[in-house]
């Protein structure tokens, strides 16, 4: 399994914020990601691109699971 690139993580972060699945996702100079679910929720620190891509996968899984329950 290959490691996700920063470019992939940036793309996922933009999609998550654009679709309002995250309130904010900011790439810090040290390569960590600062994310926030809602405007007043605590800031979460993710360690690198792989963690951001993993968060995107978790959100997708949660959405799909919820959609399947409502059908």
Q: Is the pLDDT of residue 20 over 80?
A: yes
- H-state helical runs in the chain: 6-18, 49-70
Q: What is the pTM of this model?
A: 0.88
Mean pLDDT to the nearest integer, 10-32: 98
pLDDT at 13: 98
Q: Find where tokens 């959405």 sit.
A: 63
Taking the C-alpha atoms of residue 70 and residue 9, their distance in angstroms, rounded to an integer, is 30
Tell me: the pLDDT tens digits for 44-70?
999 999 999 999 999 999 999 887 776
Q: Is the pLDDT of residue 7 over 70?
A: yes
pLDDT at 71: 60
Q: What would you report as the CA-atom Rg of the chain, rounded to the nearest whole angstrom?
A: 13
Burial class (CB in 10 A: 0-12, 13-18, 19+), 9: buried
Taking the C-alpha atoms of residue 70 and residue 52, their distance in angstroms, rounded to an integer, is 27
């Amino acid at each position: 399994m290959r490691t996700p690139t920063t470019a992939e993580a940036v793309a996922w972060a933009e999609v998550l914020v654009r679709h309002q699945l995250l309130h904010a996702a900011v790439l810090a100079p040290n390569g960590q990601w600062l994310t926030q679910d809602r405007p007043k929720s605590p800031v979460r620190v993710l360690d690198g691109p792989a963690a951001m891509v993993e968060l995107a996968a978790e959100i997708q899984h949660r959405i799909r699971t919820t959609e399947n329950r409502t059908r």
